Amino acid sequence: MNKVVECVPNFSEGKNKLIINQIYKSAKSVKSVKVFELEYNKDHNRMLFTIVGEPEAVLSSVFSAIKKATELIDMNKHLGEHPRIGATDVVPFVPVSGIIMEECVALSNKLAKKVAEELKIPVFMYEASAKRQDYRNLADIRVGQFEGFKEKLKTPDYGPNKIHPTAGAIVIGARKYLIAFNVNLDTKDINIAKEIAKKIREKDGGLKAVRALGFEVDGMAQISMNLVDFEKTNFDVAYNAVKMEAEKLGVKIKNSEIYGMIPLESLVQAIKTTFKADNFTEDQILEKKLYE
């Protein structure tokens, strides 16, 4: 492939397997892309998967999934722990190889126009595609969530000035690779998770390019992180920061979870830092040689 782009759409359904599968199958209807790593979580009531391929094919694939989610998900009935504004909640394009951020921004705008015109859903552009500084951060756009948007919609970048009655609104954009990384604590006390999340997230003066929230998942307190630029803060650094804060509060880490896909480079960087393996490179990985 010449230009490779990745797209990781998030949808507000994590319980009903029939709906989950139908959305996933719609993305797969475009044969020239790879669609994989379907993940869903019933507490978050949310699903996501990864599409990888050439830009136009990825656009067709994700549009097909958005259309299906618009048909099948009614946000008026949606309950879940994770913040969300729509049936299709957020659609990021990520440059993988042979493609620069600006091309991903152009691709995100093309999708946004199509969603606005054909599905009548208001679209907010975020991250590298943001048209306004106050829409740059996903968390800022989502304030008020679906319920709040029903009352009063913020001004969208594309589409109607009114929320879609069942599908809500959508955030679309282009960004760097995002690593979803959760750390589970050896306690049920969600307040401890919230306190640690606050200590380590960038918004409150913590680690660069780290978003973090405290949840209770499966009876455990969890710090759920999005590492939005692993070249600035990789998962090993985030893990050690959580560990240090947890120790101060007399709590231990139970385990951690890399959620979804991760670029090889992030693993290599974590190995280099943790074991001071200064000269280690991706090219030393045997499997990589076999595919060259």
User: Which residues are annotated as catalytic?
Assistant: 82
Q: Which is nearer to its own copies, 115 or 178 (CB)?
A: 178
**Strand bridging mode 170-174 / 46-53:** unpaired
Reduced to 3 states, what is the DSSP secondary structure of residue 180? strand
The torsion angles phi and psi of 237, rounded to 5 degrees, stand at -70, -40
Query: Any bridge partners for residue 222, and if so which?
Result: 184, 215
Within 8 A by CB and 6+ apart from 111, the residues are 59, 62, 63, 91, 93, 172
Which of 36, 38, 64, 136 forms a contact with its own copies (CB under 8 A)?
36
Which of 18, 79, 100, 290 forms a contact with its own copies (CB under 8 A)?
290
Binding window for its own copies (CB under 8 A); candidates: 24-32, 62-70, 136-144, 260-268:
260-268
Report the alpha-carbon distance of residue 219 to residue 282 in Å, rounded: 38
By CB under 8 A, is residue 37 in contact with its own copies?
Answer: yes
Total chain residues near its own copies (CB under 8 A)? 42
Query: N- to C-terminal Cα distance for the chain?
Result: 14
Work out how close the CB of 269 gets to its own copies at its nearest, in angstroms, rounded to a whole number.
Answer: 11
Report the alpha-carbon distance of residue 229 to residue 235 in Å, rounded: 10
Which of 16, 71, 96, 148 forms a contact with its own copies (CB under 8 A)?
96
Q: Which is nearer to its own copies, 39 or 89 (CB)?
A: 39
By CB under 8 A, is residue 31 in contact with its own copies?
Answer: no
Contact 7, 54 (CB under 8 A): no
Q: Which is nearer to its own copies, 53 or 168 (CB)?
A: 53
Report the alpha-carbon distance of residue 214 to residue 225 in Å, rounded: 9
Give the rounded distance of the alpha carbon of 66 from its chain centre.
15
Look-up of token digits 């390019």: 209
Work out how close the CB of 264 gets to its own copies at its nearest, in angstroms, rounded to a whole number.
Answer: 5
Both structure tokens of 95:
């440059």
Q: Which is nearer to its own copies, 88 or 234 (CB)?
A: 234
Binding window for its own copies (CB under 8 A); candidates: 19-27, 64-72, 148-156, 232-240:
232-240
By CB under 8 A, is residue 261 in contact with its own copies?
Answer: yes
Which of 239, 245, 246, 269 forms a contact with its own copies (CB under 8 A)?
239
Contacts to its own copies by CB under 8 A: 4, 6, 34, 36-37, 50, 52, 96, 235-236, 239, 253-258, 260-264, 267-268, 270-271, 274-280, 284-292
